[in-house]
């Protein structure tokens, strides 16, 4: 019996070696999340098509994360959009998610008001059938893309638990702003909450 032990041990080692890459590959595939980004709508008097194109590129580059988050090719998203005739946004998102095989779908709107711009973004989770909202604003058109970068940082942190350089800068910027406000009028300070943030609910079931 002893003379077969080395052979059995070698066989077990080879078997584990062969199965390990397969198991690792399956684990990586299961952890990879796919995101479909729908071009943002605009509520403005001016043509901002060049800006929405820039926003799309910004989100794709900021949210893409090797082995963790993959962005669905825009040609695939556009093809899915062309075949969707749903009236309700939630129904349309479900259809797009099915057609693109995405785990998440991102929609958004840029609204202009008196020269300033608001950025309203929704990240739809196709598995839980819920969405999270992310809001920011820009005082000028020139700073709009930089504020979209902040929105992407918030999405990375909240949805994918990923802390980026942009997120760290945003948090530091927020802390400094609050401290300055307290120094100016400490007796008038109320709890500071991020613009557009709701206490609850922060998500909504469809």
Residue 160, in any domain of the structure: yes
Residue 5, in any domain of the structure: no
Mean pLDDT of 39-47: 89
Q: What is the CATH number of the domain that holds 161?
A: 3.40.50.10070
Q: Residues 76-101: pLDDT tens digits? A: 999 999 888 877 888 899 999 999 99
Q: Under DSSP, is residue 12 helix (H, G, I), strand (E, B) or coil? A: helix
Residue 20, in any domain of the structure: no
pLDDT of residue 178: 56
Residue 14, in any domain of the structure: no
Residue 91, in any domain of the structure: yes
Collect all residues with Cβ–Cβ distance below 8 Å to 39 and sequence separation of at least 6.
Answer: 52, 53, 56
Residue 16, in any domain of the structure: no
Model confidence band, residue 176 (pLDDT cutoffs 50, 70, 90): low
Residue 206, in any domain of the structure: no
pLDDT of residue 193: 40
Name beta bridge partners: 121. 108, 134
Range of the domain at 177: 32-184
Nearest residue to 151 via CA among 171, 167, 131: 167
How big is the CA angle at 68 (ends 159 and 25), to the nearest 5 degrees?
A: 140
* Tally of domains in the chain: 1
Bigger pLDDT: 87 vs 27: 87
Separation in Å, CA 96 to CA 23, 62, 92, 103? 30, 22, 6, 11
């Amino acid at each position: 019996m002893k003379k077969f032990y080395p052979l059995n041990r070698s066989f077990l080692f080879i078997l584990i070696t062969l199965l390990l890459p397969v198991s690792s590959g399956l684990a990586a595939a299961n952890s990879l999340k796919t995101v479909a980004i729908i071009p943002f709508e605009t509520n403005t008097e001016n043509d901002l098509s060049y800006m929405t194109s820039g926003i799309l590129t910004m989100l794709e580059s900021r949210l893409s994360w090797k082995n963790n988050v993959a962005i669905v090719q825009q040609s695939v998203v556009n093809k899915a959009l062309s075949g969707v005739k749903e009236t309700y946004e939630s129904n349309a998102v479900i259809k797009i998610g099915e057609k693109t095989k995405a785990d998440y779908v991102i929609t958004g709107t840029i609204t202009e008001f008196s020269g300033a711009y608001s950025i309203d973004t929704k990240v739809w989770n196709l598995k839980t059938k819920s969405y999270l909202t992310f809001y920011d604003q820009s005082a000028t058109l020139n700073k709009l893309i930089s504020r979209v970068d902040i929105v992407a940082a918030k999405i990375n942190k909240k949805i994918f638990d990923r802390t980026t350089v942009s997120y760290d800068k945003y948090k530091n910027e927020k802390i400094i702003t609050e401290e300055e406000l307290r120094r100016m009028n400490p007796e008038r300070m109320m709890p500071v909450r991020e613009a557009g943030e709701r206490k609850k609910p922060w998500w909504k079931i469809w």
